[in-house]
A and B are shown apart, each in its own frame.
Chain A
Amino acid sequence: MSKVVGIDLGTTNSLVAYVENGRPVVIREKSGDALVPSVVSAAEDGTIYVGREAQRRLLTDAGRTVYSVKRFMGRGLDDVKHEARLLPFKVSGESAGVVRIGLGEREFTPPEISAFVLRELKRRAEEHFAALGVVDFEVDRAVITVPAYFNDAQRTATRDAGRIAGLEVLRIINEPTAASLAYGLDKRHTGVIAVYDLGGGTFDISILRVEDGVFQVLSTNGDTHLGGDDMDLLLVEKVLAEIPGDGRPQSGEFIQEVRKAVIQAKHDLSERDATEIRVGTYRRQLTRGELDAMIRPLVERTLAPCLQALADAGLQSSQIDEVVLVGGATRVPLVRQLVGDLFGRTPHSELNPDEVVALGAAVQADILVTGNREMLLLDVTPLSLGIETMGGVVSKIILRNSTIPATGSEMFTTGVDNQTAVDVHVLQGERELVADNRSLARFKLRGIPPMPAGMPRVQVQFQIDANGILSVTAAELRTSIEQTIEVKPSYGLTDEEVERMLLDSFEHAEADFAARLLIEARNEAETVITATEKTLRAPEFAAIAQTELAAGEQQKIESVLGGLKMVLGSPDRETIQKWTHALNDATRHLAEVVMNRSVQAALSGKSVDSM
């Protein structure tokens, strides 16, 4: 049977995990790297790069490279205009519709960009299973995580991304809840836990009661636009302001170089008290104190949602038994300190905060396909669901923090005689007025039997499923006639659009395949280059060259090495491979010599020991 996986589709990084012999494990590359940067880049020839390679291209071709696309999922242009101007890629679209993102010469929706990342994870998992000798190594089903505070449109966009990537999305689950599942595996305890999840772009707080293996979310809150990215942005702006410019705007590539440097500095300051930011000739000392002062307002923005979540759960912070930290940004010492202060206890961070969500997603995927009943996740809907009523006011039908699946219903009638259709506007949010809430969908209730005004009794049933995604049905109660409902998502794709995007992705599959082969060829070439350079730089090389190498052998190696380095950036895979083979051939004798010497050294060392 084909395999199922759990996927953490992050703002900054994504990763994939699965359950093996009852334990969740993260799938890594040979290098041990589990994280696939959520970055997608298009070369001039249309080749699409994903992950590390795309991240490298941010420094050389920023305008053709897209990152942090999760911030755009399920959102309209008006929502994201203010932040789009700071990004190197083009963001467009209708003012109240799905955002379009320019990637090279083409335009994609956020779910399509995310699908590139998902396909890369799928491929990585399939390679992993194939290498393990699994017969049916295809990965076609997955549980994908989303921030708990994602609304219906953002969840639907994530599910669409999965479908476009050729995955059946078994379930959309919330990141903090997934993390709690991963933590709950080791300790079969009972109690109330708070999961504080500060990722690259989103913040969530969830309060759960764990008892008898049931993980029941009591409340959740958050901010889908707050994370480590915002810290980076503050630092980038500070550095750019300090670098003397010539009045012209900095290039996208330069800004990316600054971004890379400040991220490195931020990471350093999680372990040290001071570090240096280096960009070109620019040098700057940065202390942890300075960083803390800069980011404190951001971190403090997470506290109000925490207090609201506690209030909604009907609990005091002293009633929380354990606090768990999730997300890369929780490595920042100031975050740990403020969270510790708020809850009055040291937060847990035993599990890698980058990996714990994917592990939990894998556990949930396993529960779904195996029917394993040891654990059960009971999550809630983060936002209230309502409909527009007279005067632009929202009437709430399903309140926030209701355990899902949940239902709600509302009775509609007609305003004029023989009216056969009624318009319904569905919204999500906590505010009173329609304009202050998120528009989810508009639909027309049709087929109402002609009757005097006010006579029809149309019951509209709203169902939020276990994914937190809404569906709507309706029936006229006097005649028991089921209504047809055409839901037009306000910020989403129609089924037809998703279907077409899936087909499009097949068309490009061949090009994507070629791109992957090219990356593999480059990676192999880089490995050989690194190994050769290391040998040439080694202290004992001079002695080897004198005694063991033939005349001109060193020159030959150096010239082939130079040639391979020259063609490394070329889009022609075969040329790269040809030069890689040439370097392998040229260094074969040298490699044997080095090997022999190390064997002899080992042997002589051994004989010395045994004497």
Chain B
Amino acid sequence: MSSTSTPTVQICRTCGGGAPVDVHFCPQCTKILTLGRQGDYFSFLGVPRKLNLDVADLEQRFRALSRQFHPDYFYNATPAERRASLERSSYLNDAYRTLRQPLTRVEYLLSLEGMDRQRAEREGEAETGNKVPPALLEEVFALNEELDTVREQRAAGAPAEQWKSRLQAAREPIERKRAAHEADLEGLFARWDEVVDRGAEDERRQVLHALRERMLERNYIHNLLAGIERELGQ
């Protein structure tokens, strides 16, 4: 597991004592701890690194932590504590915003596990460019043909209803693909959580790769649908 190599102790800058990585206040002197580079959004909020999270529980944790270190409550504190409060609150807000939505949550997980798109691009993995994902080749080909026809009709002055209904029809297979994808993603979410529970190290990469592929396809489908919307708006 990638997190095993990261430090598990942080040092309190106020009293010099040691504290576990995931606590926010020093166990010795009770002062707010400076935000270190260790840890991640999941551990910060005290939840497992899973994809199906209880959103109500997440919100409770967010509110409780806000009440602990919001800058409002450190107005009279030392500059170091005020800084720590600002940093911790910002991190908390960023963490909650990211984990609250399933899609940003999975994207964050991928980046945490070194599987995000930017890194893939840097490492020169060809599949991540603007190339059509293989699973979508058929749909994209059909859609492009339709779009060409529609543009020709429009240029020839065809009535709007005619080409608009063609576009609506062209959207259907893409919408179906999207629905199938959502179901796929849900299945992968459950599978990931199960892998985490079992501690099955060998399967992690496999699930992550599948997740990344689905996410790239999902973004591609999203762009296709946005393209149809733009054409409809013409």
Contacts and interface: CB of A to CB of B under 8 A. Distances in A.
Interface of A: 170-171, 211-212, 214, 216, 364, 367-369, 371, 373, 376-378, 402-407, 463, 465-466
A402 B97 contact: yes
Nearest to B96: A403
A214 B63 contact: yes
Contacts of A404: 93
B63 A405 contact: no
A460 to B, nearest CB: 15
B171 to A, nearest CB: 22
Contacts of B90: 405-407, 463
A369 B76 contact: yes
Contacts of B89: 405, 466
B86 A368 contact: no
A376 B75 contact: no
B63 A406 contact: no
A477 B90 CA distance: 21
Nearest to A378: B66
Nearest to B64: A212
B70 interface: yes
A406 B91 CA distance: 7
A219 to B, nearest CB: 13
A376 B72 contact: yes
Contacts of B63: 211-212, 214, 216
Nearest to A211: B63
B113 interface: no
Nearest to A463: B90
30 contacts: A170-B75, A171-B72, A212-B63, A214-B63, A214-B66, A216-B63, A364-B72, A367-B72, A368-B75, A369-B75, A371-B75, A371-B76, A373-B67, A373-B73, A376-B66, A376-B67, A377-B72, A402-B93, A402-B97, A403-B93, A403-B96, A403-B97, A405-B71, A405-B89, A405-B90, A406-B90, A406-B93, A465-B86, A466-B72, A466-B86
A378 B66 CA distance: 8
Interface string B70-100: 1111011000000000100111011011000
A244 to B, nearest CB: 49
Is the contact region of chain B dominated by helix, strand, or loop, or is it mixed? Answer: helix
Contacts of B75: 170, 368-369, 371
A404 B63 CA distance: 13
Contacts of A211: 63
Contacts of A369: 75-76
Contacts of A212: 63
Given A368-B75, A371-B75, A465-B86, A376 B70 contact: yes
Given A406-B93, A466-B72, 8 more contacts: A171-B72, A214-B66, A402-B94, A403-B96, A405-B89, A463-B90, A465-B86, A466-B89
B66 to A, nearest CB: 6
A211 B60 CA distance: 10
Nearest to B70: A376
Given A377-B72, A465-B71, A466-B71, A405 B96 contact: no
Interface in B184-211: none
Contacts, number: 54
Contacts of B70: 376, 378, 466
Nearest to B101: A314
A78 B198 CA distance: 63
A211 B72 CA distance: 18
Contacts of A364: 72
- Residue in B63, B71, B89, B90 with the greatest tally of chain A CB atoms within 10 Å: B90
A407 B94 contact: yes
A457 to B, nearest CB: 11
Contacts of B73: 371, 373
Task: Rank and list the top 3 A-B pairs by shortest CB-CB distance, nearest first.
Answer: A403-B93, A405-B90, A368-B75
A216 B90 CA distance: 15
Nearest to A213: B67
A405 B76 CA distance: 18
A377 B66 CA distance: 10
B123 to A, nearest CB: 15
B76 to A, nearest CB: 7
Nearest to A170: B75
Contacts of B97: 402-403, 406
Nearest to A141: B75
B67 A214 contact: yes
A369 B72 CA distance: 9
Given A214-B66, A376-B66, A405 B72 contact: no
Contacts of B67: 214, 373, 376
Contacts of A403: 93, 96-97
A367 B74 CA distance: 10
Nearest to B76: A371
A171 B71 CA distance: 11
Contacts of A463: 86, 90
Nearest to B68: A373
A433 B97 CA distance: 26
Contacts of B93: 402-406
Interface string B49-72: 000000000000001001100111
Contacts of A216: 63
Contacts of B96: 403
A572 to B, nearest CB: 47
A463 B66 CA distance: 17
A404 B72 CA distance: 12
A69 B37 CA distance: 45
- Residue in A212, A405, A463 with the greatest tally of chain B CB atoms within 10 Å: A405
A407 B91 contact: yes
A371 B93 CA distance: 21
Contacts of A371: 73, 75-76
Contacts of B86: 405, 463, 465-466
A395 B23 CA distance: 34
A171 B86 CA distance: 14
A208 to B, nearest CB: 13
A368 B94 contact: no
A373 B67 CA distance: 8
A10 B63 CA distance: 32
Interface in B78-131: 86, 89-91, 93-94, 96-97
Contacts of A466: 70-72, 86, 89
- Residue in A211, A214, A369, A463 with the greatest tally of chain B CB atoms within 10 Å: A214
B12 to A, nearest CB: 21
Interface string B198-234: 0000000000000000000000000000000000000
